[in-house]
Structure 1
Amino acid sequence: MSSPRSNPADDVQLSFITEEQKAAAEKEIVEHSKRIEFYLTEYTVELLASKMESGEFVIPPYQREDTWEPERKHRFIESLLMGLPIPFLFFWESPTSGKLEIVDGSQRLRTIQQFILGGMVLGELENLSSLEGMSFNDLPESRQRKIKNRSIRGIVLNEHADEQARFDLFDRINTGSKIANKAEVRRGALVGPFLNLVIELAQDDQFAALAPVPDKQAKLREREELVTRFFAYGDGLDGYEDRVSPFLFAYAKKMNAYLTENPTATDEYKKRFGQTMKFVSEIFPYGFRRTRDGVATPRARFEAIAIGTFLALKENPALTANQISVAQWLDSDEFREVTGSDGANAIARLERRIGFVRDRLLGIVK
């Protein structure tokens, strides 16, 4: 009787993986693991509220906003009271102060502080409806003690974890969550002259008029994300590998160092941004919006127009608005296709949409 035949696909797969590849994979895992050093901890609810109140827990700039709506806060407290599992808290241990910076969990910690020490009054609840309209101090003392004694686990990245490790951790924890988290994290993890410039330009009145964003996105630094992309992509895509987040992080870190050593260059970047926005305002009737009454700025459309315009002006500084009409192609199917969201971050798509606008402004129609 013949033995069962092996799956040909298995044989092919085995033949492709060499010992050198296995060794390289192991080396890569080890190198990245070195950056992630942590320890587990556990805090009572009472201690968490106390540390928030005293400032022992540091809320970084990218988590300054109290973004939870009352309904979400009340639902979280209801979960806490019911004894449901609470997700881990993540901290980073400052090597200088020894305080713990909140990497993930600031909204939960704020809510605990507000309920235990801040007099929060519970609104409509799904299961504990008899508690509606009550605060922590309205509960029986025995229940207050039980709530205070409840513990929540935390993970602390120790002082040896670098800024990229903190960024990666926050990014992975929040995968699929609010759109601007990466801009928020860069804001806190990479404090320096470049991020200061980005923050300043994001608040520019002309830019705000050209690039409207919904209130929630504005609070989550969406305009800062757009400004960072403008400079990063405008300076070239060397090292870009279809992943926006690490590319922008590396660029922002490099630019902080560059502007620290060359502070006068800040004015050059500010001038670049101002000239580009002025030109856009003169020739694009809706700015970066799709329609006159649009209330949002699609990222792909912004990248195409903003960076395409900058590169056209860079190639031909004498270019003027009265030489150009965008009406022929701005509402075309081709422009809609190149600024579509399908595979938007692939480098080929990114280069194509930027090049499309650049070439039209320069009068180069391929």
Structure 2
Amino acid sequence: MAQESLFGFTDEEKDAAEAQIQERAKRIEYYITEFTIEILAQKTRQGEYVVPAYQREFTWEESRKWRFIESVLMGLPIPFIFFWEDPSTGKLEIVDGSQRLRTLEEFVYNELALGDLEKLPAVSGFRFCDLPEARQRKLFNRSIRGIVLSEFADEEARFDLFERINTGSKVANKAEVRRGALRGPFLDLVVELAKDPVFQSLAPVSEKQLKEREPEELVTRFFAYGDGLEDYADEVSPFLFSYSRHTNKAFEEDPSLVDAYRERFHRTMAFVQKAIPYGFRRTPTGKATPRSRFEGIAIGTYLALQAKPDLQPDPVKTEGWLKSERFIKEARSDGANAIGRLEGRIGFVRDSLLGTVA
């Protein structure tokens, strides 16, 4: 007979928990190393440390760069830098820490002059070459620890690590993480279509969202939700990751899918452009693209075209149901990721276009 723990868990339940932990635990091979600041700056300058496509643009404002260098000069602890060892080149790709590395490079090579510093005001305005030679040597000799994932770290384990770094340091968002963990023809197509002029005109985003790859997030959702929500469980990130991995493999096995998916996207965007002149905005002068609105319109339109390939856009009729209380309710953001809400807004747009809305 199974014994219960102090809080009511039986031995079978504890065994099941242990089995799940073992199943979920990912084998990540890595080693810890130390790099001097001199080497870090030098190798960054020489391109030995690769900033991969999934890393966001170099967005640190000047004041943040100054504060980081001030911390280094003061000898404060610097967070680990995470790398992944590329098996094809042997180079180290930067997973987390690219902005720190590039700031060090910029300072060491006299391209960054420090502004007003809070703790070291006497150093304000200095470049690296202005520091006393002894201080330059001390800075060069200071080491920063790095964690290097080996080439054998599997895809899912790498994704888990990227996502957890993202949670703690805000270095990468979900779209960036997917690009880091999953490379292949599907993600290449997503990057290509995110830059499509028609799509960009229909789905405007802020400069900040552009740097954070919001267009790629929207394109990925378009394909993932359009191909079916059977495996969706109200959690967007794992669903999109699983879908992207599966579709990458499908594209590798059948390269013709690239053109088919590209055509699907272009056809849908062309229809939306004719049916809704202001695209996925809430208003004709809007400068943002709400995700829930994009999902409803883009995927609903695609499904309507699947059901009726000769469907013709009717801007007047479309304008009517877009302003209806029901669509506004379906497209509101609260609880937007729940499967019922997602299916509701997609289904409403599809049925409205087909003239079968209940």
Could you state the TM-score of these two structures normalised by the residue count of structure 2?
A: 0.91
SS of aligned partner of 2:229: coil
Q: CA 1:20–1:38 in structure 2 vs 1: closer, same or farther (change >3 Å)?
A: farther
- Aligned residue number for residue 215 of structure 2: 223
Question: Which letter does structure 2 place at the counterpart of 1:71?
Answer: S
For structure 2, the 5+ residue unaligned runs are none
Q: CA deviation at 1:253?
A: 1.7
In structure 2, what is the Cα distance between the partners aligned to 1:114 and 1:81?
Answer: 15
Q: Percent identity?
A: 63
> Is residue 274 of structure 1 aligned with residue 266 of structure 2?
yes
**Which shows bigger deviation, 45-54 or 129-138?**
45-54
- Aligned residue number for residue 175 of structure 1: 167
CA contact (8 A) 1:180 1:222 kept: no
What are the within-5 Å matches in structure 2 for residues 322-337 of structure 1? 322=314, 325-337=317-329
In structure 2, what is the Cα distance between the partners aligned to 1:185 and 1:219?
Answer: 14
- Aligned residue number for residue 59 of structure 1: 51
SS of aligned partner of 2:262: helix
Q: CA deviation at 1:12?
A: 11
What are the within-5 Å matches in structure 2 for residues 128-147 of structure 1? 128-147=120-139
**Which shows bigger deviation, 156-165 or 291-300?**
156-165
Q: CA 1:45–1:180 in structure 2 vs 1: closer, same or farther (change >3 Å)?
A: closer
Could you state the TM-score of these two structures normalised by the residue count of structure 1?
A: 0.89
- Aligned residue number for residue 144 of structure 2: 152
CA RMSD of aligned residues (A): 2.3
Question: Which letter does structure 1 place at the counterpart of 2:354?
Answer: L
- Aligned residue number for residue 36 of structure 1: 28
In structure 2, what is the Cα distance between the partners aligned to 1:169 and 1:264?
Answer: 33
What are the within-5 Å matches in structure 2 for residues 12-27 of structure 1? 14-15=7-8, 17-27=9-19
Q: CA 1:179–1:269 in structure 2 vs 1: closer, same or farther (change >3 Å)?
A: farther
> Is residue 313 of structure 1 aligned with residue 330 of structure 2?
no
CA contact (8 A) 1:88 1:154 kept: yes
CA contact (8 A) 2:55 2:172 kept: no
Question: Which letter does structure 2 place at the counterpart of 1:204?
Answer: D
In structure 2, what is the Cα distance between the partners aligned to 1:37 and 1:93?
Answer: 11
- Aligned residue number for residue 97 of structure 2: 105
Q: Deviations over 1:37-62 (max 9, x none)?
A: 33322222222212222333222111
CA contact (8 A) 1:232 1:248 kept: yes
CA contact (8 A) 1:44 1:151 kept: yes
For structure 1, the 5+ residue unaligned runs are 1-10
In structure 2, what is the Cα distance between the partners aligned to 1:341 and 1:302?
Answer: 11
The alignment covers a number of residue pairs equal to: 355
**Which shows bigger deviation, 69-78 or 96-105?**
96-105
> Is residue 348 of structure 1 aligned with residue 323 of structure 2?
no
> Is residue 284 of structure 1 aligned with residue 292 of structure 2?
no
Q: Which residue, 228, 232, 235 being the options, matches 1:243?
A: 235
Q: CA deviation at 1:282?
A: 1.5
Q: Which residue, 73, 80, 83 being the options, matches 2:75?
A: 83
